[in-house]
Structure 1
Amino acid sequence: MQSDYPDEEISVAHLCLLLHHVMQSIKTRGDGESMTSKHEADTEVRRAIQEILCVHDHELSTQAIQQLSLFGEIPSFDSPHKLTVAAASAIGAYALSVESWWAHVKGERQRVGIDWMQAASALNPGQFMKQNGKALPAMAMMAELRNDFYQTKDSRWFFPVGPYPHLRDGVLELMDCANTPEALSRAFAKHNAEDLEQAFASQKLPGAYARTRQEWMDHSQGAWLATTPLIQIEKLADGPPESLSVGSRPLDHLRVLDLGHVIAGPVVARSLAEHGAQVLRLDPPLKQDPLRQTIDTNIGKRTAFIDLNDPVDQAKARQLMATADVVVQSWRHASLARRGFGPHEAAALRPGIVYVSVSAFGDEGPWAERGGFEQLGQTVSGLAINEGLDGRPSLVPTYLLNDYLTGYLGATGAMLALLRRAKEGGSYHVKVCLTRTSMWIQGLGLQTRDASLRGGHFAQTLNPVLERRMSAFGELEQLPPVAQFSRTPARWDLPPSPNGASLARWT
């Protein structure tokens, strides 16, 4: 078998993925993607990665893209959107930014390989995760709101989100109904979509109605987002060039303070941990994420409790921020700034900081103060209407999309900012946005959906390679890092730990 890495040492992870690819090719030959479509997808991924990277460093994008190899069979989805291309592009952009960092510091390049199946599965890896052989529900031990599209009085479709008790109860109180599909349908049918959206916003509840892509581009928030790069990197302050010493792994001297929650923010930090970064996650003890998300996004990290409303904990957090290289946060806009932990405060505490913010709708414009979740990015941007059938919007088959892709894009921005810091110095604010990611995916173009998969669950058609590890949660089966490196294989050194399992300090 000819390797995609002819002149490099091949890791065990590479061999496993390549063997898996061969077996899948044998099983699916004749009804998989044609060589022409595979070539087209490869070309589209390379073009998308170059467009992401060249905005910030044209020379970097030209050199890095040559290190990428894509292999395996391309999974199909009952979707008009190029989900696998989007996944491989976002993951590839991050991987190549890490490879560029390694080349900058070490003066040597390495090959990066991405298996199409692994990339597609990374859109919602929790679907494949098992704890002691058992699958985990998305919102374990919580009675969340019956999330769905509900038709309004003016024949629009509204999507409320209530994954946590306080949000669920807020929606039910506002709508004055029970938490059943029938009761919610009757309640939403009494109101016009615009009135509902304003009422939700006034109560700080996440919800929005489905728009076409053109309607969103005509909306003031959509029009503003369309003018922003997919990854924004803002220089906060000048400073001397600052690099890091590198040992056996690209990021093994990097300190990352993870203040994120839910999925996208923690995925930024988890991605940096793939390459040796020391990641310390800080969670408010009374607002913890659900179990499945905790197990998925805490991998590779140490975790501690911090209450940013408590003066003693605030002092601890400032000490940690003053000695970090990267800070990641994904709370509602200005929430941390009001507590003294925004990007400008971080740059004052630690000159040279790279501060990564994940937002739902961006940090400017009329919706800047609105909180939101993954599904609302799909809903407002036009993506859900494109996914729908018979006039009813729908989320993508993987359900999750923006969370993981935005996490990889945020990690890409962190690496690009670190490269700028190494070359020209300064402190930086990296900004990524869930809804902007949905807009980017639509910009990749549409394809013919695979109607033969209609009605089935996407996870039944995917067969990714998983890895096992022992943890405080027992034996876990999880998707390994997708992008593999020829010289410094990506891996997580720590199993996921329960929130608050460590003290709030660096090792």
Structure 2
Amino acid sequence: MDTLRSRFRVTGVGVAAVGASLLAATTAGRDPVGLDTRQLAVALRSERYLRRDGARAGDPFDPLSAFHRTADGWLRLHANYPWHRAAALRVLGCDGSAGPDELAAAVRRWSSVELETALHEAGGVAAAVRTEQEWWATEAGRAARSLPLVERRDLGPAAPRPQRRPRVLDLTRVIAGPVATRTLAAHGADVLRLDAPGRPEIPLQYWDTLPGKRSALLDLRTDGTRLEELLAGADVVVTGYRPGALDRFGLEPRKLAARHPGLTIVTLSAWGHRGPWAQRRGFDSLVQAATGIGFVESGGDPQRPPGALPAQVLDHATGYLAAAATLVALAGQRRTGGTPHVRLSLVGTAAWLLDQPRADGPVEVAEVDAAPHLEVVDAPDGRLTLASPPGTVHGGGLHWPAPAPAFGSATPAWTPVV
């Protein structure tokens, strides 16, 4: 039953991704699992249902993070983080006091692709709105088309590692990577997330994606010794940055494999590791805009503002697929050894969604009652209402093993093995 209104097979893609994570978390995929599509609709929009002490936890989207009319079309801008907002204002020639009318006039002076490129070169984040045909005709689109949905390769020989509660080093931000590691925590992993001092996370996002984890701060530029100690004690490392962005810290996958044979390495990115956009910053909303999803969801009228999927499905689906692939790779390593490397991208998930059959118009669905799929936990930052982990195993529902910790409050060290 569809529970998310869209022209695309959003509910079906969500079922496949979450179902894969449930099956991968059970014993050889033989334990019975279930998934209510009403709960799925809540889980794929978990950030919308988060409450702190009964009140909404704020809007993670900056007013600039929206579709903007350009001289020749539309552009989707992302300015949720202060450094991305500053880059956008700098390129547009506006200061922080600029109002909506002044910003709109500044954007209108640019063509969509020219502004997209200028923002990228200035450290900003944006995507011109394209049709599917326009996207696949670009070099970046052709490179994305060649990406598998989930890629797994072996980076070198290693003996099988012993069975134990897996330790997962989480070097991810925003949604896709944190959803992957949040899912691993829900299925019993010891997850330690690292963030850089001076790069604060949006509170709503870390309250939503830190349950079951520990959160620590570590400056990778100055504390490489501590990072190496954590890698030596980890079973899995998950990174969610542009390909190559973490190489200077010794986190290039092949070098990691050479230093830590048997480590399961998982990398997620927006635009994949091939083509001219591999080094670009990106988020779910931008991938939707660039690949034609936004154009389709608007009904295909270039004069109307582009549309959006009913959830940040590229992020969430990629996160659940990454969790599934991690669990499968980890189990394989413990059976036969090796140093597995798993790669996924938002643009690869977008291609998967675009390839599914779709309706001529939005599929009408009934509003979901979220209450049965929420849980309330006492956390250091307040009483949090969270979407429960989706699905059942042996008929029993899943719950978060611990509330979201205070951001950066943990010591960057592994808990003792018991």
Which of the five TM-score ranges fits, normalised by the shorter chain?
Answer: over 0.9
Of 142, 165, 169, 2:82 maps to: 165
User: 2:78–2:84: 8 Å Cα contact kept in structure 1?
Assistant: yes
Mapped partners of 1:417, 1:489: distance in 2: 25
Does residue 335 of the first structure (1) align with residue 245 of the second (2)? yes
Of 280, 292, 296, 2:204 maps to: 292
Does residue 436 of the first structure (1) align with residue 348 of the second (2)? yes
Does residue 232 of the first structure (1) align with residue 131 of the second (2)? no
Match of 1:42 in 2: none
- The one-character-per-residue Cα deviations of 1:483-504 (angstroms, maximum 9, x if unpaired) are 2111775332211001221111
Give the gaps of 5 or more residues in structure 2. none
Report SS of the residue matched to 2:110: coil
Structure 1 length as normaliser, TM-score?
0.77
Mapped partners of 2:209, 2:4: distance in 1: 26
Match of 1:98 in 2: 25
Mapped partners of 2:241, 2:342: distance in 1: 14
Does residue 480 of the first structure (1) align with residue 405 of the second (2)? no
Does residue 463 of the first structure (1) align with residue 390 of the second (2)? no
Match of 2:67 in 1: 149
Mapped partners of 1:269, 1:130: distance in 2: 21
Give the gaps of 5 or more residues in structure 1. 1-37, 39-73, 246-252
Report SS of the residue matched to 1:119: helix
Report SS of the residue matched to 1:477: strand
- Matching residue's letter, 2:132: R
Report SS of the residue matched to 2:117: helix
Structure 2 length as normaliser, TM-score?
0.92
Match of 2:320 in 1: 408
User: 1:152–1:189: 8 Å Cα contact kept in structure 2?
Assistant: yes
Mapped partners of 1:437, 1:181: distance in 2: 33
Mapped partners of 2:182, 2:4: distance in 1: 27
Match of 1:26 in 2: none
How far did 1:269 drift? 0.8
Of 39, 50, 59, 1:118 maps to: 39
Mapped partners of 1:181, 1:122: distance in 2: 33
Match of 2:278 in 1: 368
Does residue 75 of the first structure (1) align with residue 3 of the second (2)? yes
- Matching residue's letter, 1:471: A
How far did 1:461 drift? 4.9
User: 2:285–2:308: 8 Å Cα contact kept in structure 1?
Assistant: no
User: 2:176–2:319: 8 Å Cα contact kept in structure 1?
Assistant: yes
- Matching residue's letter, 2:391: A
How far did 1:263 drift? 1.5
Mapped partners of 2:394, 2:169: distance in 1: 28
Match of 1:24 in 2: none
Query: Among the aligned pairs, what percent are the same residue?
Result: 32
Report SS of the residue matched to 2:385: strand
Of 203, 215, 237, 2:134 maps to: 215
Match of 1:46 in 2: none
User: 1:204–1:370: 8 Å Cα contact kept in structure 2?
Assistant: no
How far did 1:81 drift? 1.1
More displaced stretch, 401-410 vs 178-187: 178-187
Match of 1:355 in 2: 265
Larger Rg: 1
User: 1:322–1:346: 8 Å Cα contact kept in structure 2?
Assistant: no
- The one-character-per-residue Cα deviations of 1:225-262 (angstroms, maximum 9, x if unpaired) are 212210111211122233525xxxxxxx1100011111
Does residue 177 of the first structure (1) align with residue 94 of the second (2)? yes
Match of 1:198 in 2: 117
- Matching residue's letter, 1:85: G
Compute the RMSD of aligned alpha carbons.
2.1
Q: 1:75 to 1:489 in 2, by over 3 A?
A: closer
Mapped partners of 2:321, 2:305: distance in 1: 26
Q: 1:471 to 1:327 in 2, by over 3 A?
A: same
Does residue 89 of the first structure (1) align with residue 8 of the second (2)? no
User: 2:120–2:280: 8 Å Cα contact kept in structure 1?
Assistant: yes
Mapped partners of 2:14, 2:67: distance in 1: 25
- The one-character-per-residue Cα deviations of 1:333-375 (angstroms, maximum 9, x if unpaired) are 2121112122223223321111111111011211111111111
Of 383, 403, 412, 1:495 maps to: 403
How far did 1:86 drift? 1.5
How far did 1:450 drift? 4.4
Mapped partners of 2:99, 2:352: distance in 1: 34
Q: How does 1:12-31 map to 2 (within 5 A)?
A: none
Mapped partners of 2:307, 2:187: distance in 1: 32
Q: 1:304 to 1:76 in 2, by over 3 A?
A: closer
User: 2:185–2:191: 8 Å Cα contact kept in structure 1?
Assistant: yes
Mapped partners of 2:369, 2:110: distance in 1: 40
User: 2:130–2:289: 8 Å Cα contact kept in structure 1?
Assistant: yes
